[in-house]
Amino acid sequence: MLITAILFVFFGVLIKYGKMYFLIAGYNTMSKEEKEKYDIEGIATVFKNVMFGMAFIIILGDFVGDLTENDNLVNYAFWTAMATGIPYLLLQSNSKRYKK
């Protein structure tokens, strides 16, 4: 699971600081006029924050699972991160807040 957390951090950094916006589903297929209607920097920040948050939850679950010797905590942390992070990411990035 730590590899998954590292990938989330990696992709969060690539999207925000590497400006690899093509990693955001649908953005790459938009026309130039459509792209100008969105605050891509704001959306990239949301992606970075959510990816970092999900990675933190997974790492914390792994750490606590190791301390308590409970292997199920890693799975619970992973699925909690997915169940909260993905809907939050979708709702925030598609909100009117990031439309110009």
Kindly give the parts of the chain with pLDDT less than 50. Answer: none
Provide the 3-class DSSP secondary structure of residue 99: strand
Q: What are phi and psi of 26, to 5 degrees?
A: 90, -25
Both tokens of 38, joined, read: 């969105």
Q: Where do the domains of the chain lie? A: 2-95
Q: What percentage of the chain carries pLDDT values higher than 70?
A: 100
Helical ranges in the chain per DSSP H: 2-16, 32-35, 40-68, 72-93
pTM confidence score = 0.89
| Confidence at residue 28, expressed as pLDDT on a 0 to 100 scale | 87
Residues near 38 by Cβ (< 8 Å), separated by ≥ 6? 27, 98, 99, 100
Q: What percentage of the chain carries pLDDT values higher than 90?
A: 90
What is the residue type of 59? I
